[in-house]
Structure 1
């Protein structure tokens, strides 16, 4: 369990203490943007691989046990996670990798719904597994991903507000951190024709494939 704790601490620490704090600017000033991004990506990859290995070798210390009655909810959350990943994959968005400045972006597609669709997909994936796997190792692994996906957007918004200033405020008024809030408040509208429906269909196909082969690939049945 100590190995899993260390791996999750590295994963979260890199995001919150290094990248998500003023320490990032200090490091970039010394190393440059490119080397920092490369080192950050490598460290995150190592931490995720380490988390997976440590989880597979962690002792089973149950809390509430397998919550079978919550599995239908986890299926819905997983379907939404896949859809959010897929539908946002081709959107022009300043919050994703390969960022563009917010003054060069119009909130379209999934960005109308939330400016953090990819992270919310990650968060829903973690939450879907967290609620049905009642043991400490699962809480650490899936809880870390749920936290990073659902809470990290707040920190990103703060960082981008500081980086882009007024341009970020203009973009942020067009969309929202929580899905559908900007639409509900009248700051945007839902345009179904802008959604990448081919990506949605592909994402749901991958979801169905993952669901069917979950036991074979991951050693646990989703049923």
Structure 2
């Protein structure tokens, strides 16, 4: 176990760090044919798409999002620690739990934004410089309505021909979500000069503002 922890700590050092660009692209995804029909109080959905800093950073600038929390989806609570998850020895995925007002932004619109500017749906078990199953890209619906929308949008993406490589992003059954350590929350807002943020996350926020100005909020919605 001690050797495992040492390995985990060593590997965590390189997590969410700049690396050679593998060709991540920004694609303006199609408007959803299957529109989410959600009403009532705030809703919650989970998105996994590489390092959670950028996922949280983008959704925190979306109008109607009331909270975006970085964390670990799946796996066990005992292993839900950054050093272990980042080493790839657990079953978790780095993910973000998004709470939103469906009267202001629909789930299908969040999914469109996610695949347009946050996560490249053609990269398997990686995003940008971050490699491993814990960086897998997946929609994690928390309701039957979200599940229908997620399935329909992935199928629509396949038919669209907008992406040059096959769509490999998936859908995962919602399991336990464990919030990440406090140092990872609101990371983009608190560390704008971090080299990783400047290289990988700030361009995603800029793309949100450029492609979806009606959904963009200049204010960062913390926590």
| TM tier, smaller | under 0.3
**Which structure: greater strand fraction?**
2
The answer to which structure, 1 or 2, has the higher relative contact order (CA under 8 A, 6+ apart) is 2
**Which structure: greater helix fraction?**
1
Relative to the length of structure 2, the TM-score reads 0.26
Relative to the length of structure 1, the TM-score reads 0.26
Structure (1 or 2) with the larger CA radius of gyration: 1
